[in-house]
Amino acid sequence: MNESNTTSVRNQASTAIKSLFDASVVPSYRRFNLVFSHGAGSYLWDVTGKRYLDLGAGIAVCCLGHAHPEIAEALAEQASKLIHISNLYYHETQGRLAQALVNLIGPGKCFFCNSGAEANEGLFKLARKFGHDEGRFEILTATNSFHGRTLAGIAATGQEKVKQGFEPAMPGFRHVPFNDLEAARNALSPATAAIMIEGIQGEGGITPATPEYLLGLRRLCDEKKLLLLMDEVQCGHFRSGRFQSFQRLLEGTPGGDQFLPDGISMAKSLAGGVPMGAFWVRLPHADILGAGTHASTFGGTPLVCAVALRVLQVIEREHLADNARTEGEFFKTELQKLAQRYPAVIKSVRGVGLMLGIELATGLPAFAGSDQTASVQFVNQLHAAGLLAILAGSQVVRFLPPLNLKRNEIAEGLKILETIVAQVSP
């Protein structure tokens, strides 16, 4: 078969796969027109054989890149020993993983589940139980936040678009402006039990919490006997250069190294692509969820815990927290230079470590005359040029690459990015 025949066969394969989705998959996702078959490291290949540099990593999930040999090995080894036993019994890997997470965060205990939304649900239940005997149940969250797609998750999320059509909202959530301590203080009611924020808002457009906000919320929660909960599902797991984003954001701030929230939710990168969620609860509150109060059948299986432990080993051995810090710094500096060369296209550059975003200017003529947002059109052009990035809202394009991203891969991404930025520049 000659080359053009091969391509046309592959295009047919792509069409056939999409028609399976049209026929049999609930259309709840607005998917891009890309069909992938395999990956390696920071690259993905679609069914036509085209290669893409993946700076989205499955939305901050594939923290060691695609098809990492040690993840494959940990999966195979553990699968041939023990995959699942349920939480009716003990097994070593869950205990060891909990210990490792506690060592990375601070004195406390962990609960294991399967996703970010489920981890947040656990923290919401923790807050309700914490406030229960005093009749307190309310949780304040931030405008533009994202906390998952369950009913409590969408009630907690500070974005109207996720709530629409699913009313009535679960009671007990109110939103306050992010990075505004006074707004949080003023919004408290006698029923308030907790405040939950992301360390760096992800879906909301890559907005880090300020050190003053974090320390101020800690003091406020101590003063009013509230739980301070942090959703580190996207910004956690070394993406910022430290295990949790608040550890990085508070570096160099007096008192910053004493800071701990009362609960932390984790998921996305936790097991490098194998589904896993978890939450950590600070010691004085770690036994609030006693026997029989909370559960998840698949939570913390031997299989997923073995993978999560291996992911932690690789990150430590290869100094990937440092890599996220130094390569993130390089990437961000280069993005800022690009923004200086094309101020009419890039309005701002945001983020920390390998959680970066560019904010596109509004009203770009190149994006006029389409009902799609600027971010969708921009990302589509990046795709055509062989680069995967992720949009956040109508104006922001995010980069959430693997933590082992290499300098030459960043350079390759920047080159593609500059081509597209120049193309849409007025």
Ligand X SMILES: *Cc1c(COP(=O)(O)O)cnc(C)c1O
Angle CA(233)–CA(221)–CA(163) in degrees, nearest 5?
Answer: 45
- Is 116 a binding residue for ligand X by CB under 6 A? The answer is yes
Give the Cα separation of 134 and 27 in Å (integer).
43
Q: How far apart are CA 400 and CA 395, in angstroms?
A: 16
CB of 395 to ligand X, least distance (A): 18
Closest CB 51 distance from ligand X, rounded Å:
27
The CB density around residue 352, as the number of other CB atoms within 10 Å, is: 23
Nearer to ligand X, 138 or 231 (CB): 231
CB atoms < 10 A from the CB of 151, how many? 15
Residues 248-277 that bind ligand X (CB under 6 A): 267-268
Residues 166-205 binding ligand X (CB under 6 A) are: 198, 202-203
User: Of residues 139, 155, 215, 233, which one binds ligand X by CB under 6 A?
Assistant: 233
Nearest residue by C-beta to ligand X?
Answer: 116
List 234, 269, 301, 395, residue binding ligand X (CB under 6 A): 234
Residue with tokens 């069409």: 15
Residue 299 in contact with ligand X, rule: CB under 6 A: no
- H helices of 54-91, in order, are 57-60, 69-79
* Nearest one of 173, 169, 175 to 142, comparing CA atoms: 175
Question: In this complex, which beta carbon is closest to ligand X, that of residue 148 or of residue 402?
Answer: 148
Q: Angle at which helices 407-424 and 374-384 pack, to 10 degrees? A: 120
Tokens coding 80:
């041939």
Q: Which of 248, 241, 208, 214 is nearest to 229 (CA)?
A: 214
Pick the piece of the chain touching ligand X (CB under 6 A) from 20-28, 229-237, 385-393, 404-412: 229-237
Nearest to ligand X of 202, 421 (CB atom): 202
Pick one of 52, 111, 124, 146: the residue that binds ligand X (CB under 6 A): 146
Q: How far is the CB of 367 from ligand X (least distance, A)?
A: 26
237 is a contact residue toward ligand X (CB under 6 A): no
- Determine the Cα angle at 147 with ends 396 and 404, to 5°: 60
Considering only residues 36 to 75 of the shown chain, the ones binding ligand X according to CB under 6 A are none
Name the residue nearer to ligand X (CB basis): 124 or 137: 124
- Per-residue DSSP letters for 205-247? TSEEPPHHHHHHHHHHHHHHT-EEEEE-TTTTTTTTSSSSHHH
Among 46, 231, 262, 327, binds ligand X (CB under 6 A): 231
Least distance (Å) from ligand X to the CB of residue 181?
21
Amino acid sitting at position 102 = V
Question: Minimal distance in Å, beta carbon 141 to ligand X?
Answer: 11
- Of 20-28, 145-153, 211-219, 300-308: span binding ligand X (CB under 6 A): 145-153
**Which CB, 115 or 192, lies closer to ligand X?**
115
User: For residue 84, which amino acid is it?
Assistant: H
For the record, the structure tokens of 151 come out as: 């009913």
At 46, is the secondary structure helix, strand, or coil? Answer: strand
- Kindly list the residues in this chain that would bind ligand X in the complex (CB under 6 A): 115-117, 120, 146-148, 198, 202-203, 231, 233-234, 267-268
